Structure 1
Amino acid sequence: MNEPKEKLSKAEEVLHRMLEKDAYSKLLGLQIDEVGEGYCRLHFQVREDMLNGFGILHGGVTYSAADSAFAFACNSHGRLSVALSTNMDYLEAGKLGDSLTVEAKEESLKNKVGVYQIRITNQEGVLVALFKGTSYRTSKDI
């Protein structure tokens, strides 16, 4: 006899639907730790193929991981949301072998606009980067 499956939250349902076709997040090796309404926490390991010519984490990788967490958080309410604007401040260099945690939190949610702060920290809790994203919330349900 099959055990009843635990019912997924709206945020978890949306995440699963997004991840089905998100080849880029898979390529980066993003591992989702937690998702909720207006929230996402994920982590990834810095690999050799993610380093730039100076042997440090390529800024595009950091940005991409933050952008994925932003997307998972702002779509978590079940309405298709897209980025209006984003900004990234790089504070420390990521290094080979680092385990980076990316945490997206909703700061404001209105009918059409959401604002999110994303913090990227390493395994020692050092703040590596800050990302701010503003999303446009369409009227289309996911």
Structure 2
Amino acid sequence: MEQQISPQEVLDIMIARDRFSQWLGLEVKEVGPGYCRLEYTVKEDMLNGFERVHGGALFSASDSAFAFACNSHGIITVALDVSITFTRPARAGDRLYVTAQEVHLGNKTGLYDIRTTNEEGALVCLFKGTAYRTSQPVKQEPQAGA
């Protein structure tokens, strides 16, 4: 019988193991079925050579929100395909808000829209993700081979 686990329990399991999201300083403010909202502050070590936030930092924060949203159903889910479009720069000290929303959930795949905005509500980047749902439930103990 499949164990039922809440989105918050899944998030707690993932966050405890996700040292990269911790290093980025991501603060998850809300999680629900197919949904995640987090925020973070752009740090100096996230800047590129033009003193703007590096695209990799934006991608990583979006990818984490994507992971938290798509795994919220309690089934181990992995990225199948992602893309990102950058719309405006951010600088050190800027507070960024990332919202991941499930657009479609099928038996084996899910489609997600992840938007990062700045303090004025302007779009900084748009990340689209397609996720593959394995048949393995999220569990407290580490997954064998995962």
| Category of TM-score, reference length = shorter chain | over 0.9
- Residue correspondences, number: 134
Letter paired with 1:30: L
Return the alpha-carbon distance in structure 2 between the equivalents of residues 66 and 126 of structure 1. Answer: 16
Matched, 1:46 2:42: yes
**Number of the residue aligned with 1:135:** 131
- What TM-score, normalized by structure 2, do the two folds share? 0.91
Matched, 1:97 2:97: no
Question: What is the correspondence of 1:1-142 to structure 2 with a 5 Å cutoff?
Answer: 10-142=6-138
Letter paired with 1:71: A
Return the alpha-carbon distance in structure 2 between the equivalents of residues 61 and 103 of structure 1. Answer: 15
Return the alpha-carbon distance in structure 2 between the equivalents of residues 82 and 108 of structure 1. Answer: 15
Q: What is the CA-CA distance between 1:96 and the residue it aligns to?
A: 1.2
Q: What is the CA-CA distance between 1:65 and the residue it aligns to?
A: 0.1
Letter paired with 1:88: I
Q: What is the CA-CA distance between 1:102 and the residue it aligns to?
A: 0.3
> Please, which runs of 5 or more residues in structure 1 have no aligned partner?
1-8
Residue deviations 1:92-137 (CA, integer Å, cap 9, x gap): 0111111000000000000000000000000111100000000000
Return the alpha-carbon distance in structure 2 between the equivalents of residues 49 and 110 of structure 1. Answer: 39
Identity %: 54
CA RMSD of aligned residues (A): 0.7
Residue deviations 1:8-61 (CA, integer Å, cap 9, x gap): x71000000001110000000000010000000000000111101110000000
- What TM-score, normalized by structure 1, do the two folds share? 0.93
> Please, which runs of 5 or more residues in structure 2 have no aligned partner?
139-146
Q: Stretches of 4+ moved more than 2 A in 1?
A: none
- Look up the SS of the partner of 1:60 in the other structure: helix
Letter paired with 2:85: D
